[in-house]
Amino acid sequence: MVVGPTRLPGVVVITPRVYSDARGWFAETWQSRDFSNAGIDARFVQDNHCHSHHGVLRGLHYQLRQPQGKLVRVLSGEIYDVAVDLRRTSPTFGAWTAETLSSENRRMLWLPPGFAHGYLVLSEHADVAYKVTDYYAPEHERALRWNDARLAIPWPLPPGAAPVLSERDAGAPGLDGLECFD
């Protein structure tokens, strides 16, 4: 696997080695030793799979307590995947990074605990799978407004188009006054 940096320290793009032949292809998407050697010492406790349609924007989500590290990959389709640093003591607090992940490029994004996560579906449909390092705790789940002016994330939406949002995401607060990590 090849591990590459992003604009945020700790958030990395992972490209697995792919072995192809006449039958198709094979790739290891998680291997504890290799990830540990790359500085990712994660113990995953839950796998999630989400199917969404074009234009759906999920996020930006995080858990204030029981924070989750996430290893995100796309099984089918394409997404614009975003991580936002919500650690108040971090020099990159409020900064974001984004990567295009797809079933074609097979890249994955690792977000350690302390980051909000969200994505926009660019293809007709997308199946997104992600491993997390702590259990889902709805009482600690929070959301950050996807279009907060302070973040200025350039979501790749057609001019004048609005994403499809959940009611919770549509009403999420902005970065100012948000409950964040210390």
Tell me which residues are annotated as active site: 61, 130
Asked whether 13 and 107 are in contact (CB, 8 A), the reply is yes
Cα gap 12→4, rounded to integer Å: 6
Cα gap 130→52, rounded to integer Å: 14
Residues 6+ apart with CB under 8 A from 104: 78
Question: Amino acid identity of 36?
Answer: S
The CA-atom distances, in angstroms, between 6 and each of 22, 58, 97 are 34, 21, 7
Asked whether 42 and 72 are in contact (CB, 8 A), the reply is no
Cα gap 69→116, rounded to integer Å: 10
* Strands of the sheet with 141-143, listed across from one edge: 96-102, 78-85, 115-121, 57-63, 141-143
